Amino acid sequence: MAETSTAETDSRLIGSHHGQVSAGDIAVGVIIGRTSEFFDFFVYAIASVIVFPKLVFPTHDPLVGTLYSFAIFALAFVARPFGTVLFMAIDRAYGRGAKLTIALFLLGTSTVAMAFLPSYEDVGAVAAWLLGLTRFLQGLALGGTWDGLPSLLALHAPQNRRGIYAMIPQLGAPIGLIVASSLFAFFVANLSAEDFFAWGWRYPFFVAFAINVVALFARLRIVVTPEFSKLYESGDLQPTRIRDMISTEGRNVVVGAFAPLASFALFHMVTVFPLSWVFLFTNEGPERFLVIEAVSALFGIAAIVASGPLADRVGRRALLGGGAVAIAAFSGFAPQLLNGGTVGETVFMVLGFILLGLSFGQSSGVVASSFSRQHRYTGSAVTSDLAWMFGAGFAPLAALLLAGTFGLIAAGAYLLSGAACTLIALWIDRQARQAD
């Protein structure tokens, strides 16, 4: 067995006093871990709209500055697959504890480093390069945070409750958004513009490091337990070489990357893009919309929870396909609601989060179930990286560029393309399964 780190050994000793970890323990670890990751990303996403265009790109008009900020936003999703390759090698050589410790330390450090970012007035164009570097490192680190806990959770799932178990990891996304939005809304509402841009916007980035420390120990407590180690050693959660996994499961990688594209495209269409549109093209302050976003995310949590029993009744692939059809219909009219004032914005956000919860809630379960047990650990990580990159990474940039050029109705084009990709991928997968 690979050499383990001191942190991993200490955590195993702590966990050994509690015997085997239950499915409930795993669920808590999964939610804490995913919440920390999404919080880090949402902190940057919000700042990319209301902070970085002014601090880093002040020589451009607000729309162009936000587009540049969104281009840097996409860097993390490009970096993420490279992080998976790097940290899978660390996993094989030094163990899961070492991998998670390094990855989460890098994630927290790169996020906190953004809090010390100098402005354009201080260092000129170097500010943009520093922002790009920290964002790239953030994505690289996220590729290493895959701990296999969703796979372990799936292995615990009874045959008739797989949908319920599959939705648990997805709860971290709306929870992370609620925390990040609430923090920014508080500082925007209670600080003067001068104080906010001087120091207030930096505080959520400091919080990220503390959350990552909590998440690290919550996850280490589980991944180094005898139960997890036994599954790891037996090959069920073994980090196989990516080249070997692709040669064996290449079709599942492609299908897994494109099957959840509708929900992943919708993800940033209801979290990042609408904030940018309201901030740039209306006279309303960002704090009010951040509150709408946080409240709407509660509907997303309820929809994710509901996706579990619904998927167990109709099937995860059927739910994902139905969700893609609904998202396609949503793309045809909903973006225009963002010009409808508070009522229109609220309707857009609530409807969007309900659709997101129902489809996103089962996206990881569909991906993981396609792989053999031997390749599930590595295959799930790689396909998730690719799905995020193709589906979500460029969504805010593409949507804002289209909407700013052709109007809000054009923003739905990106969303429609994601829905089409999902339906095509599911159809190809169905044909292949029938042929097999």
What percentage of the chain reaches a pLDDT higher than 70? 88
At 381, list the tokens.
């990580």
Give the distance between the most distant pair of CA atoms in the chain: 64
pLDDT band at 43 (very low <50, low <70, confident <90, very high): very high
Q: Which residue has the higher pLDDT, 420 or 251?
A: 420
User: For residue 368, what pLDDT is reported?
Assistant: 60
| Average pLDDT score over residue span 211-222 | 78
Q: Please, are residues 212 and 107 in contact by the beta-carbon 8 Å criterion? A: yes
User: For residue 366, what pLDDT is reported?
Assistant: 64
User: For residue 152, what pLDDT is reported?
Assistant: 67
Q: What is the pLDDT of residues 301-313, one digit of tens each?
A: 999 999 989 988 9
Distance CA 362, CA 127 (A): 39
At 37, list the tokens.
């990751």
Q: Please, are residues 46 and 184 in contact by the beta-carbon 8 Å criterion? A: yes
| Average pLDDT score over residue span 225-234 | 69
Which amino acid does the sequence have at 163?
G
Lowest mean pLDDT among 208-212, 267-271, 396-400: 208-212
Look at residue 436 and give its three-state secondary structure.
Answer: coil
Percentages (nearest 5) of helix, strand, coil residues in the chain: 85, 0, 15
Q: Please, are residues 367 and 388 in contact by the beta-carbon 8 Å criterion? A: no
pLDDT at 2 over 60: no
User: For residue 21, what pLDDT is reported?
Assistant: 57
Distance CA 425, CA 45 (A): 29
Average pLDDT, the chain: 85
pLDDT band at 56 (very low <50, low <70, confident <90, very high): very high
Q: What is the pLDDT of residues 128-180, one digit of tens each?
A: 999 999 999 999 998 988 877 676 676 666 777 877 888 888 898 999 999 99
At 240, list the tokens.
């196989």
pTM of the prediction?
0.87
Q: Where are the alpha helices (DSSP H) in 143-223?
A: 149-156, 162-167, 172-190, 193-198, 203-223
Q: Please, are residues 149 and 30 in contact by the beta-carbon 8 Å criterion? A: yes
What is the DSSP code (8-state) at residue 117? P
Is 329 exposed, middle or buried (CB count within 10 Å of its CB: 0-12, 13-18, 19+)?
middle
Which amino acid does the sequence have at 201?
W
At 300, list the tokens.
């997303």
| Average pLDDT score over residue span 352-368 | 82
Q: Which residue has the higher pLDDT, 261 or 234?
A: 261
Q: Please, are residues 292 and 346 in contact by the beta-carbon 8 Å criterion? A: yes
Q: What is the pLDDT of residues 86-124, one digit of tens each?
A: 999 998 888 888 888 898 889 888 988 999 999 999 999
| Average pLDDT score over residue span 35-61 | 92
Give the helix/strand (H/E) hosting 326.
Answer: helix 316-333
CB count in 10 Å sphere of residue 405: 9
Which amino acid does the sequence have at 56?
V
Q: Please, are residues 280 and 62 in contact by the beta-carbon 8 Å criterion? A: yes
Distance CA 365, CA 353 (A): 19
pLDDT band at 6 (very low <50, low <70, confident <90, very high): very low
User: For residue 7, what pLDDT is reported?
Assistant: 40
pLDDT at 9 over 50: no
pLDDT at 225 over 90: no
pLDDT at 18 over 60: no
How far from chain centre, in Å, is Cα 35? 9
Q: Where are the alpha helices (DSSP H) in 51-171?
A: 52-55, 62-94, 96-113, 120-123, 126-142, 149-156, 162-167
Q: Length of the chain, please?
A: 436
Q: Please, are residues 243 and 343 in contact by the beta-carbon 8 Å criterion? A: no
User: For residue 12, what pLDDT is reported?
Assistant: 42
Distance CA 173, CA 267 (A): 9
Look at residue 20 and give its three-state secondary structure.
Answer: coil
How far from chain centre, in Å, is Cα 178? 14
